[in-house]
Each structure stands twice: as structure tokens, then as C-alpha cells.
Structure 1
Amino acid sequence: MKRKLLPIQCFVNKQLQSYITKLSFNNLRLYPSPVKIVEVGPRDGLQNEKKVIETSTKVDLINRLNNCGLKVIEVTSFVSPKWVPQMADNKQVYSQIEKKHDVSYPVLVPNLNGLENAIKSGVKEIAVFSAATEAFSNNNTNCSIEEGFIRVEEIMKVALKAGLNVRGYLSCVIGCPYEGQVDPDKVTQYAQRLHEMGCYEVCLGDTIGVGNPGTMERLLEKVTRRIPLDCLALHCHDTFGMALANIYTALQFGISTFDSSIAGLGGCPYAPGATGNVATEDLVYMLHGMGIETGVNFDNLVETSSFICSILGRESASRVVRALRAKNSKCLV
């Protein structure tokens, strides 16, 4: 004999079923929020510009980015002017920018000499870097991967003792311009090593932009098993137009920190054919459309993009900015 449910039991069952249905539906769309954006335009975006950019322009750009609501702005690199002439004014830039108490202003440091100069300049956070392939490491830093890690370890010991926060970059995590496809297991090994050395965050760099959702998923399946999600970040170049798709894939894994560059500036001199970083404007447009908080003022960001592009004399690489410009032009016709 079938037992008849009381009205209250029917109500509870319906509510439970509704909850389960909603839970199953929402799990497909469970993204981290808020998302932290690391703006790398002033350093990674400008470092390979052939025309020397005035210090005052760099300072103005960073101050404008400050007013966009970004919480992390990588401002310069304490590297020898011999290797990166564009960053020769690192001390002046760092000392002249407006610093907000709730914003981080990391700088890239390649060696102990650079670290010493950074500390003297009052830097609070640095970034160190390594590579996932021997060929790229030799071409980029003139040393093997192991030699590079020894150098990073030396930097980190001094930096951590001085109370600095240290972020670690790992280049060519999916593809290398010299060796081709990169083994996710090796990437995981190197990323874990940076994390264990004391990097509070390890940033995985698709340096030449060859990744796609499939290769990104295979990589993150490995790396996220060994490193906590809140200690991982992603740095995507847009060579094949896959940067946002790769970021979307990473969001589904729960990663909530992404590098981007205003107007899509940047590239890599050691990666032939590599285009710039994913544009900050495009990333913010996507995240806001998904209902993900960033704390970034989109209108100010677009204005800042127009500012730096007018200085450089080029069109923004941001698809969103181009689309908005085209839309406004049609409205004027």
C-alpha cells in the first residue's frame, strides 16, 4: 500500500527538489568572485617599446591606472639598462608615482643587484621569474632552468628576510617558441618549486599565446592538485585569440587572479610572433558581463587605454575599445 504524504512532507519534498535542481544548475556556473586583476601594462606592456617613453608619461599612466580601481599594478623592472633600456628610469618611476595604501606596486627583479636597488627605492613587493623549458631559459636569461632556480632562491632569501612579498612567474607553461609543446608534469614540478621557495603566488605564463581551453584544462588539472587555488594566477598572451577562452577555463577551476595589460600592450622579444597580453579592457568587460566583481571602473579604464595609445601613436589592441569606437562613429554619422 502506497503511503500518502502529509501536506508538509509534500512541501518539503518540493522545496528539496527545487534546491537540488538549482544547485545542479548553479554548479555549472560557479565562478570565483571577486577576481583580482594584476595590471602589467607599465612594465610588461612597455618594456619592449623601441621608442623611449618619457618618465612623466609612465608615471601618468600608472596614476591613471590607480584611478581605475586596480589593486595590483606592476610598475617597472629593476633590470640593467643594457638589457632593457626602456626600464632605465625604474627608480624615478617608482619614487614619483602616487601610491595608495590599498594598492600593491610590484616590480620585476632579475638578480641580487636589482633587488638591492629595489629595496633602496622602498619597494614592498617583487616578482621573480623562471621558465618551463631549457631553450627559453637560455635565450631569455642566459642560464639553464636549474641555474635560474638557484638565482631565484638567492633573491628570495634576501627579499623574504627584508619583509618583501614575492610573486613568481613561470614562462612557457603550454608552448615554447624553441621546443614546442610543454609537458604539464614539468610545469607542475617547476610551479610547485616556486611555491615551496616562498612565492605567495605563482603566475603561469602562456608566453607565446598558443594555449587553448583544451591544453589549458590539461595543465590546470595537474597544477591545481599540487598548489592551492589562491596561490595561482594566469598570464595569457593573445597570439591566437585564445586568451579570454583560457581565462574562462581557469575560472571554472576556481582560479581568481589574472594578469592583463592596458590596451593589450606587450609581447616577448624572445618569442617570435608573440603578440601582447590580453587587454585589461576585454578582461574586465567579460568578467563584469559574467557578474564577477573586479572593483575596476570600466569607463576610466577605456579612457586610460585611449591615453596611452595616443602617446604611442597606435590603435588599441582591445577588441572592446575598437568596438566601442566603431559604435560611437556610427552614432555620429
Structure 2
Amino acid sequence: MFNLFSAAETKAIIVDKLVNQYDKIIKDQNKLEEVRASHQPLSDLEDNKKRMVTRVARENTDFAFGIERVLEQNDLVDISSLVKIVQISKSVCRVLINSKSIGTGFLINQNILVTNNHVIPDIDTCSNTKAEFFYETDEEGRILNPIQFKLEPETFFFTSNMKKIDDDEFSGLDFTMVAVEQTNLKGLNIQDIPSLDLDGNIGKIIKGESCIIIQHPNGLPKKTTLNNNSFFSENKDQIIYETDTLPGSSGALVIGLGTCEPIALHQTGIPKMDEKGNPLTKFGTVATSITPDEDVEWVGNAGIRISRILEMLKKKTFSDDVQNAKKNEILSRTNKSKKEFKKSSRKPTRNCHY
């Protein structure tokens, strides 16, 4: 069975979730513009002390220098960060259903694909789905040799329905985790493709810092974003950022530029709305289900927090020992990092001026 909802219905369900938070998003966007206009450090947007302290601790350097680099917004980035981003990008793939590109995903813990529930909604869909890695261009614009793997939901499968369902405590976050076959038809091993370990702890990014999204917009060769990428608003489940996307970017990996850590699973664009909650076009008219995305007036984009996904996974108990073992493996970095950051957060913070 393919997606339970049409593209228009999917967008409407996700946008409905944001309507009640729309005023706050607009307020935060205005604050971002005011801080930029007054030439203040964008880190002035951050109001969570715990997140700030842990973010500084992640600098893994002299604490005073870490404060200066994060709070005073020293824009220098180690060249090694670019190397890290390229390496991280190798875990990102196109999601193909019946050979058609319908979204993006990324690989974690050697053989687990992560994407949106509205991209892969159920186990039945997996039989017609493949993860395609290295669909990208080289320095001369030539397409590399993509590598495809089938999915193995019988090995591991966990999903959170895009729509909140009253009797399903695991619904409403819009993500899917599913195992990928060990060896494909060409004899290639999934473990030869770099994968990520997720950290569900706070402090991977602070407001004002840049989000980098590695994605397959419109099913095109892999792309990322370099300009106007600030994280500027949030709610319990999502972070809101400026970073550009297109249809086909659903399920893409969002990383914090400062730490090169996965911070979110890209989910949706947020349109500008009128007082009745109707999405608007760039021409001031109400957008409909047939309005092209490029004609919609976008406020920003939203991604599901990695921390919330891992919180939900932690609550899940599988009936299969193998799946429970994989669950614990996915959570292992979070548990290890939690102990490390408890120690780091005890460092003196008298020089912090947030």
C-alpha cells in the first residue's frame, strides 16, 4: 500500500499541527530579523541556559574560547567541519518507491534507514521501496554510480504516524525507522556505506546557528544549503529554520553547522497564513492544493527533533529480542553522551553573559 494521504492532504495535516503555534513562529522570525538588523550576535536569540552551556561544552576546547566562539559568534569554522559534512552526506539517500523518487532518508547504526512516516507509512510500502545512495554529481557534473538496497522491515521497523491517533501513544511525530538489507543484488554490503550514531542530548545547536540540510529536492542529485540557514523558533516536537528545501526533501538530514551533529528529520515547509489559517501565495491570494510550491509564501521549514524521535523509541518495547537489541544500539550513544555532558556542564560559567 502506498502513502495513505495525497501530497495535498499530507501538507494540510502537517500545517494544521503548526497553526496554533503560528503566531509564535512569526514572532520569533521577527526577532531574528531585528537581531540581524541591529548587528547583534544571532546567539542572542537563545534563551535556554542549559542548551547554551551544553552547546559550549561540545566545542571540546578551552571553555573560555568556546564561550567566545559560540556567544560572540566567531564565524570561523574549522576546515575539518567541511570534511565532516561531506562524510556525513554519504549516509543520505533517495527513497524510491516503484523506482520513483518520493523523498529523502539517511542511514544510522549501520543498517537502519530514517525518513518520514509520510514517505514510508507502513510495512507493506517497504516491499516496493529502495534506498538509493550516492545519487550525486562529481566535480564535472557527472552522475556517480548510485547504489540501491532493499528494505527489511522484518528485521526492524518502527514508525510514528504523521497524524496523531488517540489510542496510539507512538503516533504524531511522523518518522519511520526501517532496516536495510545487509547485501544487495550486486553483492555490496550496507556496512560499507558510512552511517550515523544519533545523540538525543541537548546542546547540538542553539538559536541563531545554522542548520545544514542534506537532501534530494525534487529527486535531484544530492544537494545542501549554505546561506540563510538560521534556527530561529521551536516547539516541543520541532525546530523551525530558514533553510531552503523542495518537495522530495521530506526525510532529509538536518545537522547543526557548529557541531556537525544530526539535530532534526526534515518534515515540512511552513507557509505564511492569513487570520483564518489559510496558506498564502506570494501574490497575497489563498494557496490551494494545486498551487505550485514555488508560488507559496514560505515563512520557514520545520524538522522533527532527533531527541523527540529517540525519546519515543526509548518508550517502545518490541516483542522481538532482535529488534529490542537494535533499539538499544540506536540509543547507546545518547546514554553515553548524557554521562559525559553532566560532567561538562559542571564547568564554571561565570564568563557566560546570556
TM tier relative to shorter chain = under 0.3
| Higher normalized strand content (fraction of residues) | 2
Q: Normalising by structure 2, what TM-score?
A: 0.23
| Higher normalized helix content (fraction of residues) | 1
Structure number with bigger Rg: 1
Q: Normalising by structure 1, what TM-score?
A: 0.24
